[in-house]
Amino acid sequence: MQKRHTNRKQYFNELAETCEKYFLPFIEHHKKITPNLSILEIGCGEGGNLLPFSKRGCKVTGIDISEIRIKEAKQFFQEEGLSGNFLCQDIFTAIIVEKFDIIIIHDVIEHVLAKKRLLAIAKNLLNSNGVIYVGFPPWQMP
């Protein structure tokens, strides 16, 4: 196991850096990132991917089934002086009434058996002009 997998703060920072450097520019080809956009990350872990959005004034929400990861997300965001809404829930049973401008499913879909159902849920949570970003490890590609 790599050290970054045991040092969750380091992993949080690496995700934030990767998101800033690669994901944001890619997403901005499809949706301009402006303050007050609503962002949802499904399977957010400790929330590193959401940090660059929050720093830009976006309203970020993360959902994950891991209680410890959600606890870390809240802690790490507090340490950064930023706010985020972090939910310890299963996306398949969660009741979320808000619609989002950007939905991120990063390195999660390969862990889900009901992939079509997950994407349908994401589509239902998306604003009419929103975008869904799905990323997965390259070794999972067909």
Question: pLDDT tens across 54-95, in order?
Answer: 999 999 999 999 999 999 999 999 999 999 999 999 999 999
Please tell me the distance from the alpha carbon of residue 29 to that of residue 39, in angstroms, as a whole number: 16
Residue 73: inside a domain: yes
Please give the pLDDT value at position 142. 47
Low-confidence ranges of the chain (pLDDT < 70): 1-5, 138-142
Residue 57 is assigned to a structural domain of this protein: yes
Note the pTM of the prediction, 2 decimals: 0.90
The pLDDT of residue 2 is 52
Task: For residue 108, give the nearest of 86, 93, 91 by alpha carbon.
Answer: 91
| pLDDT for res 113 | 86
Distance of CA 83 to the CA centre of its chain: 14
Total domains, the chain: 1
CA gap 62, 67 in Å, rounded: 12
Residue 17 sits in a domain whose CATH number is 3.40.50.150
Residue 105's domain spans which residues?
3-137
Within a domain: 142? no
